[in-house]
């Protein structure tokens, strides 16, 4: 009977260690994913908050960060370049006075 007891103890110990390993892997995965998300959020925030968007030079991705500007409108902005003032955006299809006012603080023309 002692042999069975010993083998049973070993089996239980292995099961406990395997469960601990799974739990440790879950925690590690959670930490790695959390860290990656935090870094991504900080990078995006830094990119967005890096100052006013120059309507004459900004790439499409940067233009899309402006309120009310989607992919098609961003393409139209690029196609309509150059601009002398922010109000010149009024000639772009899909941009009206309300949109111009929304983006005025976050954009510039150089």
The count of other CB atoms within 10 Å of the CB of residue 83 is: 18
Polymer length of the chain: 110
Q: What percent of the chain has pLDDT over 70?
A: 94
- How confident is the model at residue 48, as a pLDDT? 65
Residue that wins the pLDDT comparison between 36 and 49? 36
Q: Using 50, 70 and 90 to split pLDDT, how confident is the model at 80? A: very high
Q: How far apart are CA 39 and CA 33, in angstroms?
A: 10
Average pLDDT (38-57) is 84
The reported pLDDT for the residue numbered 2 is 55
**Mean pLDDT within 51-64:** 93
Residue 98 clears pLDDT 80, i.e. is over it: yes
Calculate the CA 44 to chain-centre distance. Answer: 5
* pLDDT class of 71 with cuts at 50, 70, 90: very high
CATH architecture of 53-108: Orthogonal Bundle (1.10)
Phi, psi of 108 (to 5 degrees): -150, 170
Q: What is the mean pLDDT of the chain?
A: 89
- Residue 54 token pair: 């120059």
> Residue 7: which pLDDT band, with cuts at 50, 70 and 90?
confident
H-assigned helices in 1-110 = 2-48, 60-63, 71-79, 97-103
């Amino acid at each position: 009977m002692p042999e069975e007891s010993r083998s049973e103890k070993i089996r239980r110990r292995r099961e406990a260690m395997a469960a601990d390993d799974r739990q440790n892997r879950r925690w590690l995965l959670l930490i790695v994913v959390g860290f990656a998300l935090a870094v991504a959020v900080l990078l995006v925030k830094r990119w967005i908050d890096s100052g006013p968007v120059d309507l004459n030079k900004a790439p499409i991705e940067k233009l899309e960060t402006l309120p009310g500007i989607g992919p098609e409108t961003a393409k139209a902005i690029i196609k309509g370049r150059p601009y002398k003032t922010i109000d010149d955006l009024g000639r772009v299809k899909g941009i009206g006075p309300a949109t111009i006012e929304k983006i005025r603080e976050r954009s510039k023309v150089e």
